[in-house]
Amino acid sequence: MNTNILKLAAILLCLAGSFACKQNETDSNNIPFIDYSSAGIDCKWEIINDNEVIVINSQSEMDEYVTFYPEDEPKIDFNKSTLLLAKVCAQYGIDSVSKNLLEIESKYILDVTIVLTYANVAENRRIFMVTNKLKHQNVELKVNIIRN
């Protein structure tokens, strides 16, 4: 009798664990984007605070933060797209930067991973990415730093 109860409890725990894993997978959703960060676009950036993300939904908002040379200005349809600008900083040299945009519950997370070099100089990178129109302005920047 006790072994049957233990077997049943083990099965229920496995099912509960499986459901919890599937629930987490559906709660987060990767959002596709076009990354212009290192596309060689020549522009002048206005001041953006370190480790801050700016959500832009119109040409006039973009003009407040970035001034392009005419041949380098990307064509963004703000009726269908949102532009995200960010500046990430590190206390050492940056070897690489990878980005993911996630939707989790009622917010977006711009998840940035920075891989450092041994260069003893502070460095920053600007992020310029376009995605489908976001449903809301709630975007959180999460910066992960990895020492190589």
- Residues 72, 7: one domain? no
pLDDT at 103: 93
Interval 64-110: pLDDT, tens: 988 887 777 788 999 999 999 998 888 888 888 999 999 988 899 99
- Residues 6, 44: one domain? no
- Residues 16, 63: one domain? no
Q: Kindly tell me if the per-residue pLDDT of 2 is higher than 50.
A: yes
pLDDT at 92: 84
Q: Kindly tell me if the per-residue pLDDT of 21 is higher than 80.
A: no
What's the full length of the chain, in residues? 148
Of the candidates 131, 127, 145, the one whose C-alpha atom is nearest the C-alpha of residue 53 is 127
Mean pLDDT, residues 37-57: 80
- Residues 12, 48: one domain? no
Confidence band of 39 (pLDDT split at 50, 70, 90)? low
- Residues 107, 39: one domain? yes
- Residues 53, 112: one domain? yes
- Residues 39, 1: one domain? no
- Residues 19, 74: one domain? no
- Residues 92, 41: one domain? yes
Task: Label the pairing between strands 139-147 and 107-116.
Answer: parallel
Rounded to whole angstroms, the Cα distance separating 81 from 134 reads 7
Q: Which domain holds residue 15?
A: 1-27
- Residues 98, 58: one domain? yes
Domain count, the chain: 2
Expressed in percent and rounded to 5, the helix, strand and coil fractions of the chain are 25, 45, 30
Tokens (6 digits) for 43: 């522009």
Rounded to whole angstroms, the Cα distance separating 50 from 70 reads 27
- Residues 52, 118: one domain? yes
Task: Label the pairing between strands 28-30 and 43-45.
Answer: unpaired
Contact between 126 and 87 under an 8 Å Cβ cutoff? The reply is yes
The verdict on pTM exceeding 0.85 is no
Confidence band of 59 (pLDDT split at 50, 70, 90)? very high
pLDDT at 40: 63
- Integer-rounded Cα Rg, in Å, for the chain is 21
- Residues 95, 79: one domain? yes
